[in-house]
């Protein structure tokens, strides 16, 4: 491990959960992974982008859910952008093929639908998983209140810079403080357009 402070590295489980009659929805940000750049400057590059993981679990009794039969849908940064910009009359649909570009492509398809109802007074989030081999379709519906949707939007807006890796900016020390103070340059950021 890179550090003796193991709690800093520890995976954190802090899903936001919405429990409803027929299914539960759990929302959980997954951070990007980074890799070192070979050049020896110690630079880091985002290797695999983060996601907001949605996990839908079917109800088996009142307030009981079957956590073994959950279905997942990983929202990419742009799909998160679609969620957080949704208006009170909007609707979004996303399609994923978990085996995309492999030999199993097309066997299973997932559709996530987010729909505003009643002019934004509530929302329906639905995951449909179609298995074309087994000829089966599973559909998990979670009705979401305006208040719950506001939590989703606020939490996902907060998480978005983190899943694209921009929050790492905060942790960096300021550049240039070791050198002698450079003179203030009136054409400062135009330089960047040439030099970089």
Q: Residue 110, interface with a copy of itself (CB under 8 A)?
A: yes
Which helix or strand (DSSP H or E) is residue 115 part of?
Answer: strand 108-117
**In this complex, which beta carbon is closest to a copy of itself, that of residue 87 or of residue 135?**
87
Residues 88, 90, 94: CA angle, nearest 5 degrees: 135
Q: Residue 134, interface with a copy of itself (CB under 8 A)?
A: no
Per-position b or e across 1-39, b if 16+ CB within 10 A of its CB: eeeeeeeeeeeeeeeeebebeebbbbbbbbbbeeeeeee
Q: Residue 40, interface with a copy of itself (CB under 8 A)?
A: no
Residue 117 CB, nearest approach to a copy of itself (Å): 15
Residue 69 CB, nearest approach to a copy of itself (Å): 14
Q: Which of residues 49-78 bind a copy of itself (CB under 8 A)?
A: 49, 51, 53, 72-74, 76-78
Q: Residue 179, interface with a copy of itself (CB under 8 A)?
A: yes
Q: Residue 117, interface with a copy of itself (CB under 8 A)?
A: no
Residue 63 CB, nearest approach to a copy of itself (Å): 10
Tokens for 19, please give them.
């429990």
Residues 6+ apart with CB under 8 A from 59: 20, 21, 22, 23, 24, 65, 66
Q: Residue 161, interface with a copy of itself (CB under 8 A)?
A: yes
Residue 135 CB, nearest approach to a copy of itself (Å): 20
């Amino acid at each position: 491990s890179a550090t003796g402070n193991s709690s800093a590295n520890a995976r954190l489980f802090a899903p936001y959960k919405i429990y409803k009659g027929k299914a539960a929805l759990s929302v959980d940000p997954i951070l990007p992974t980074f890799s070192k750049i070979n050049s020896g400057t110690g630079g880091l590059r985002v290797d695999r982008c983060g996601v907001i993981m949605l996990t839908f679990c079917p109800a088996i009794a009142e307030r009981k859910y079957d956590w073994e039969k959950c279905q997942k849908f990983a929202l990419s940064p742009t799909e998160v952008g679609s969620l957080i910009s949704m208006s009170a009359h909007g609707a979004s649909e996303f399609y994923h093929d978990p085996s995309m570009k492999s030999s199993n492509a097309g066997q299973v398809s997932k559709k996530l639908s987010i729909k505003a109802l009643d002019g934004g007074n509530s929302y329906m989030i639905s995951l449909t998983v179609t298995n074309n081999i087994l000829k089966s379709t599973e559909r998990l519906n979670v009705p979401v209140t305006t208040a719950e949707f506001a939590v989703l939007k606020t939490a996902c807006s907060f998480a978005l810079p983190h899943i694209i890796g921009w929050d790492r900016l905060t942790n960096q020390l300021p550049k240039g403080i070791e050198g002698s103070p450079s003179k203030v340059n009136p054409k400062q950021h135009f330089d960047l357009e040439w030099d970089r």
